Amino acid sequence: MFTSAIIPAAGAGERMGTAVSKQFLTLHGKPIIIHTLERFQLCGAINEILIAIQPSGRRQMELLINEFHLSKVSHIVDGGRRRQDSVSNALSHVHGDADIVVVHDAVRPFVQQKLILAAIEKARTHSAAVVAVRVKDTVKMGNQEGRFERTLDRSVLWAAQTPQAFAKSLLLEAYAKANRENIDATDDSSLVELLNVQPAIVEGSFDNIKITTLDDLDFASVLARRFRD
Ligand code: CTP
Ligand code: MG
């Protein structure tokens, strides 16, 4: 068994709007991306970590990897224009022996070990697994005229997070199709769904936030203080 983790960290953080890309902002004494990488470094099931980064951030990333002894990092690859391109670049450098690939956003620093492990386990039996939480709000479909057309059935709705874990061969096939057919996706599992595979649901936690806006940063400081794993 060999499991590779891909951490896409090449975003510009436009919605955060800070001069420093959000993955490098300090949270509870260290950069957000370091919190995230440490979760994977400490996970016994992970054999290697690949990070996608903008070329301008490579040197800083190398220094941080040394400083925080992230010995599992095997590759720093160049990020692409879209998240999908960043993951695709990393995917082409995954170890030849890997059978499972886990993808996790650099800006979700609170992921619990048990969720990483559960996603990997489920990917072994179901080929694909996605950590997700039940939607709490009522979700409606709006139209161009600024009106709601209908209300969706909340009992079947989930908000997808990462980690998402896949059989490597399946993820390679999904990305090959996306590249061939110019398909855009905001997460990896939606590409796998286009191959008619139904990823298994791993019920996650509302703590596993993606740090996207300044508000999230405030909440992240609160969560970081009650670090629990
Ligand atoms: N990401 C990436 N390559 C891109 C875009 C995003 O590796 N071209 C990464 C981000 O660094 C982040 C994760 O994908 O870890 C989730 O993306 P998101 O939260 O959207 O981050 P950004 O794209 O940086 O933010 P924004 O969309 O606000 O610009
Ligand atoms: Mg983005």
Query: Which pLDDT score is estimated for 228?
Result: 53
Give the model confidence (pLDDT) of 7-20 as tens digits. 999 999 999 999 99
* 3-class secondary-structure state, position 70: coil
Q: Tell me how far the alpha carbon of residue 43 is from its chain's centroid.
A: 16
Contacts of 19 (CB under 8 A, 6+ apart): none
Q: What does 100-133 look like in DSSP terms, one character per residue?
A: EEEE--TT-TT--HHHHHHHHHHHHHHSEEEEEE
Ligand 1 pocket member 8 (CB < 6 A): yes
Distance 194 CA to ligand 2 centre (A): 21
Question: Over the stretch 67-112, which tens digit does the pLDDT of each residue have?
Answer: 999 999 999 999 999 999 999 999 999 999 999 999 999 999 999 9
Contact 79, 10 (CB under 8 A): yes
* Residue 106 alpha carbon to ligand 2 centre in Å: 12
- Residue 132 is predicted with a pLDDT of 98
Atom of ligand 1 nearest to the CA of 11: 24
Percent of the chain whose predicted confidence (pLDDT) is above 90: 98
Question: What is the whole-number distance in angstroms between the Cα of residue 13 and the centre of ligand 1?
Answer: 6
148-205 pLDDT tens trace: 999 999 999 999 999 999 999 999 999 999 999 999 999 999 999 999 999 999 999 9
pLDDT digits (tens, 9 = 90+) for 24-72: 999 999 999 999 999 999 999 999 999 999 999 999 999 999 999 999 9
Query: What integer pLDDT is reported at residue 226 of this predicted model?
Result: 82
Task: Verify whether ligand 1 is closer than 6 Å to residue 57 (CB atom).
Answer: no
Q: Which pLDDT value is given to residue 177? A: 97
Cα(81) to centroid(ligand 1), Å: 10
